[in-house]
Amino acid sequence: MNAFLAMRSYGLVIGDKEYALTALGEDLLKTQGEQAFHERLGQHILLNLHGLQVVEAVHSLQSRGVKVKVETVAQELSTLGIGSGGDSGEDINPLRLLLERAGVFIAGKGQWMIDSAVVKKLTGASTVEISEIADLSKQQQAFLRALATYTDEESPMASKVRSLAEGQTPDVRFDTKTFAERVVRSLADAGWIELEKATGGRGAKSGRVTPTEKFREIISEPLMNTVLEQTHLLDPASLRRPLRDLLTVVNDVKNATNHTRGLALEGVCVQVIRMIGARFLGWRLRGDQTAGAEVDLVAETSNNPYLLIQLQSKASAINGREIIDREVGVAQSLKSNVILFVSAKNVGEAARRAAAVYMQETSLAVLFLNGTDLSGGAAGVAAGIEREWDHVRLIKAERGQERTRAMTE
């Protein structure tokens, strides 16, 4: 069980009583050669499990002349809000050993000597570039992360990216009075974006932003490659296409093949997951298994609170309660906190009523996105998710009041 819990913590398996390999687990199983295996796992740790923050913490300590020990690394991480097993940092040594096997830390040289070439190879960024990212404020980092997932247009208004960033990173909020200067202008001055001011004069808007080559090389492409390696998308271009364009393909029953529609639906699902700030864990069902009509996946949010999200998508409308019953049953096995239903068409009242009953009787949250939400791109998805969470809170509050009355009568 300890081995299984460790594998689940590292994103290699999902489930509780019934286990299944994630896409990463399947990928590692097929990897030929011990070093290639360790490098692939090391890349996953660096990009998805705070491994880069550990490298940055070590680099920062060394730059300041502070002796690098597990305890000092743990203290450095805690200032970033990253737990590492208390003051003793009991989770750090196992992670360091895995990174050492990947070549990130050079074995036998004080245990903490960083091989910058390996870090660059696995992440696309050197330790100097990583330090530059780490020196950015949380708001600036959240803005760049959102820009890397924004697909509606090449040069969006900065305010649109800001809205997406707030949805992806709930613990980050932007001061609209200082946003243009402290976030947008600062990132432009640092070479991450190009800025085209929307209007002149006092109180001008923050304007449109365009990613620079520096942004693409250090942030966008490494993130994109990581998602592709996790998801094994058969159509990598779907990560860059506007959501409304993918939705058009999904709905094109007359001209598009079922295979093409299935690929587009996969792209919709992964884009939605990225837009809400979650991390892909594995596929349950893919379009090629359902003639392009259905795609299921499992994802998680690493921010507070932790949520295991079960996404069920359909090219058709979601009308009856049967699909709700089925997914709630799956959630009991996976221990999901959230079920997110995505329809390229619409959602019927019977499905919503069934979801409301389950939310009253269990701790599950059930959310719905429809074709109108998706056609609105990032803003539409964000508004749809906010609407659904408001509905969840309303149902949970009503149920709480009922329990209170029952206890006091």
How far is Cα of residue 149 from the mean position of the Cα atoms in its chain? 10
Encode pLDDT of 231-262 as tens digits.
777 788 888 899 999 999 999 988 889 999 99
Distance, in Å, from the CA atom of 340 to the CA atom of 334, rounded to the nearest integer, reads 14
pLDDT surpassing 50 at residue 202: no
Distance, in Å, from the CA atom of 307 to the CA atom of 300, rounded to the nearest integer, reads 5
Mean pLDDT of the chain: 86
At 223, the pLDDT band (50, 70, 90 cuts) reads confident
* 8 Å CB contact between 187 and 144: yes
Q: Where are the beta strands (DSSP E) in 10-112?
A: 13-15, 19-21
Q: Could you give the residue ranges of the DSSP H alpha helices within 220-366?
A: 221-231, 243-250, 258-275, 322-334, 349-361
pLDDT surpassing 50 at residue 109: yes
pLDDT on residue 333: 83
pLDDT on residue 407: 60
The CA-based angle 152-153-156, given to 5 degrees, is 105
Spatial CB neighbours of 60, under 8 Å, sequence gap ≥ 6 = 76, 131, 134
At 203, the pLDDT band (50, 70, 90 cuts) reads very low
Spatial CB neighbours of 215, under 8 Å, sequence gap ≥ 6 = 144, 147, 148, 192, 193
Q: Which residue has the higher pLDDT, 24 or 302?
A: 24
φ, ψ of residue 298 in degrees (nearest 5): -125, 135
Sign of the C-alpha dihedral, residues 175, 181, 182, 183?
A: positive
pLDDT on residue 352: 96
Query: Which tokens sit at 154?
Result: 């090449």
- CB under 8 Å, gap of 24 or more: what pairs does 40-43 form? 40/229, 41/10, 41/98, 41/102, 42/98, 42/99, 42/101, 42/102, 42/103, 42/104, 42/122, 43/102, 43/122, 43/123, 43/226, 43/229
Q: What is the DSSP string of 338-401?
A: EEEEEESS-B-HHHHHHHHHHHHHSS-EEEEE-HHHHHTHHHHHHHHHHHHHHHHHHHHHHHHH
* 8 Å CB contact between 343 and 374: no
Encode pLDDT of 304-356 as tens digits.
677 889 999 999 999 989 999 999 998 988 888 999 999 999 999 999 999 99
At 50, the pLDDT band (50, 70, 90 cuts) reads confident
Number of Cβ atoms within 10 Å of the Cβ of 136: 17
pLDDT on residue 146: 92
Range in 124-128, 173-177, 181-185 with the lowest mean pLDDT: 124-128
Distance, in Å, from the CA atom of 317 to the CA atom of 40, rounded to the nearest integer, reads 39
Q: Is this model's pTM higher than 0.85 or not?
A: no
φ, ψ of residue 233 in degrees (nearest 5): -60, 130
pLDDT surpassing 60 at residue 220: yes
pLDDT surpassing 60 at residue 92: yes
pLDDT on residue 306: 77
At 81, the pLDDT band (50, 70, 90 cuts) reads low
Sign of the C-alpha dihedral, residues 378, 369, 225, 43?
A: positive
Q: Which residue has the higher pLDDT, 365 or 54?
A: 365
pLDDT on residue 36: 92
pLDDT surpassing 60 at residue 41: yes
pLDDT on residue 307: 86
* 8 Å CB contact between 314 and 307: no
Query: Judging by beta carbons within 10 Å of its beta carbon (0-12, 13-18, 19+), is residue 348 exposed, middle or buried?
Result: middle
Encode pLDDT of 348-364 as tens digits.
999 999 999 999 999 99
* 8 Å CB contact between 214 and 165: no
- In this prediction, residues 50-74 reach a mean pLDDT of 85
The DSSP code for 241 is S
At 204, the pLDDT band (50, 70, 90 cuts) reads very low
At 147, the pLDDT band (50, 70, 90 cuts) reads very high
pLDDT on residue 409: 61
pLDDT surpassing 60 at residue 270: yes
